[in-house]
Chains A and B, each alone.
Chain A
């Protein structure tokens, strides 16, 4: 495809005081996103609005679809047209998208979904924070698949991790979810957009064989098949049905086993490359906090306050939520007396931590069920109660 010139930059280098939603949109543009399909929903709409301004400036397309069902499959279509593509939504919209996220998993279609979480279930708290879509990302669509989900906790990370989300999507050929939340989406802080040369861009693997030798779902040793897209003369065959290496539907247990195992294993085998966590004062900690997103900011504050009182608390912040960092948490469990999990839901990550810890230490969630973020004092109070 010929590349049109534009006087507007994909990477709008500079220092900003801005919101997480703005930062995420600019991150997508910086990594080369050229198609946005979306439907308005609070608290994510600013991402769509900003993309509607900026995408055409860099020769991309913004389409406001009629609903989230169309938005998600529209970005799959654009991805098969060769564009890096994304959508942005919140919990109710994500609920509508999950079927076609499954299609993206099955057809190995790179794309990014930003979920700016709000309180649920149902319409819940449209304008207030939640972290209640963690499990929806993992289990929302039917069948077995290994999603990738990243969780930023600052405006800068909304930019940085959107780039990473695209890179993982392109590298592993999967839909990747960026799990933001309302607080992050709407709060303002410093954002540095670096020079174009500093942006790491990964593009999907292309076939190296001529069309007559190409099998669209024959994977390389890394379990990822090279991706020809529409218009390249490869006559790609794409179906959500269970398919063989040719992409042809073959409906039996053997083909199902081979395909579903591979699309899961390509993530499982690479999970150590995908999993990112951040440790804060964990070296001598007797009590650990495990948190993510905007909750992790409060958790960090509570670590500082506890340390001032002489309580040895540290923080493990999950940057990658899925695949879940089981081994890192299991190891942590051997060195601490207790793990607290502050999160803005009723125990979604807490239960995963309990699973990873396997009884090696005590695990307790500190829950807000949506509508507010924790205060450091609130978390500290829970820690002190348990001493």
Chain B
């Protein structure tokens, strides 16, 4: 084992090399951004899953997190803003053995794409959806989004946001998601575990990862370094797997509750239902 590690170090190869697209690195993420480590965790979770990489597709919308699909050497799709989920539904139902993973940001999935994600959860579409929540629109320069909390300063909330953000885990749970977890980018081991569990899940599985965005979120909100945001998470998160999702809203002055909130197998998936309809339609004649 040690010998292998030494060999690997000397070769200057990285164990994940073949799974990142050659020529696409360096990535575009800012110093202090957590998307690099989240990408790393996602890759490890995919490779440790039961799936043949050939049967895995990664789909993103638009935004910083939306760029992740394009770095991964799987079938990867970088779609339009907000539309990663319905694209993935079309893609996933064409092959019941395919694992489609959507990784995108909070603005992409819950503002412009909000209608799609609630319906995908309602249908129990066979998708794993990872939402990296950085509390703002990073790619476009730091505007407020559907997760911006009251008082948060962004370029379009110069006096502090006055709106209530989505309670994302509760929204997903109430729409029928089979798996709902929330972790922060600091909880590397927990995030990995959640990705693995979500990928193994049949049906709509959802993981919210609170990310660090020093450039467009942190520096306007007294958290101007990636490290400071992670420290903030360390000091202000409370683990509670059994939390009632109605109580896990994020605000500036109360602890952030993390955990695996929902894990259930109560409903057939969209793909299973479509195959059932095929059998029903053909039984008639």
* A70 and B116 within 8 A (CB): yes
User: Is B250 on the interface with A (CB-CB < 8 A)?
Assistant: no
- Report the bound CA distance from A79 to B94 in whole Å: 9
In the assembled complex, how far is the CB of residue B66 from the closest CB belonging to chain A, in whole angstroms?
10
* B75 and A66 within 8 A (CB): no
User: Is B16 on the interface with A (CB-CB < 8 A)?
Assistant: no
Residue from A8, A69, A99 in contact with B282 in the complex, judged by beta carbons closer than 8 Å: A8
The chain B residue with its CB closest to the CB of A67 is B115
- Report the bound CA distance from A6 to B280 in whole Å: 12
Q: Which residues of A contact B184 (CB under 8 A)?
A: none
User: Is B54 on the interface with A (CB-CB < 8 A)?
Assistant: yes
How many A-B contacts are there with CB distance less than 8 Å? 146
* A81 and B79 within 8 A (CB): no
User: Is B95 on the interface with A (CB-CB < 8 A)?
Assistant: yes
Q: Which residues of A contact B151 (CB under 8 A)?
A: none
Number of A residues with CB within 8 Å of any CB on chain B: 51
* B115 and A230 within 8 A (CB): no
User: Is B252 on the interface with A (CB-CB < 8 A)?
Assistant: no
* B90 and A81 within 8 A (CB): yes
The chain A residue with its CB closest to the CB of B88 is A77
In the complex, which residues 57-98 of chain A have their Cβ closer than 8 Å to any Cβ of chain B?
57, 59, 61-63, 65-67, 69-71, 73-83, 85
User: Is A190 on the interface with B (CB-CB < 8 A)?
Assistant: no
Q: How large is the interface on B (under 10, 10 to 19, 20 to 34, 35 or more residues)?
A: 35 or more
Given known contacts A7-B282, A230-B57, A230-B98, A76 and B87 CB-to-CB distance under 8 angstroms: yes
* A238 and B77 within 8 A (CB): yes
In the complex, which residues 85-100 of chain B have their Cβ closer than 8 Å to any Cβ of chain A?
85-95, 98
* B70 and A37 within 8 A (CB): no
* B90 and A77 within 8 A (CB): yes
User: Is B55 on the interface with A (CB-CB < 8 A)?
Assistant: yes
Q: Which residues of A contact B76 (CB under 8 A)?
A: 235-238
User: Is A100 on the interface with B (CB-CB < 8 A)?
Assistant: yes
Q: Which residues of B contact A67 (CB under 8 A)?
A: 115
User: Is B254 on the interface with A (CB-CB < 8 A)?
Assistant: no
User: Is B166 on the interface with A (CB-CB < 8 A)?
Assistant: no
- Report the bound CA distance from A73 to B92 in whole Å: 13
* B115 and A74 within 8 A (CB): no
Segment among A112-120, A217-225, A239-247, A362-370 that sits at the interface with chain B:
A239-247
**A24-39 to B contact mask, C-beta < 8 Å, 1/0:** 0000000000110100
In the assembled complex, how far is the CB of residue B269 from the closest CB belonging to chain A, in whole angstroms?
13
Q: Which residues of B contact A70 (CB under 8 A)?
A: 83, 85-86, 89, 115-116, 119
Q: Which of A82, A237, A246 has the most CB of B within 10 A?
A: A237
* A248 and B24 within 8 A (CB): yes
User: Is B74 on the interface with A (CB-CB < 8 A)?
Assistant: yes
Q: Which residues of A contact B234 (CB under 8 A)?
A: none
User: Is A387 on the interface with B (CB-CB < 8 A)?
Assistant: no
Top 4 closest pairs, chain A to chain B, by CB: A77-B90, A81-B94, A70-B86, A78-B90
8 further interface pairs, Cβ-Cβ under 8 Å (given A69-B115, A74-B90, A240-B80): A7-B285, A8-B285, A37-B90, A57-B282, A71-B86, A77-B86, A77-B88, A77-B92
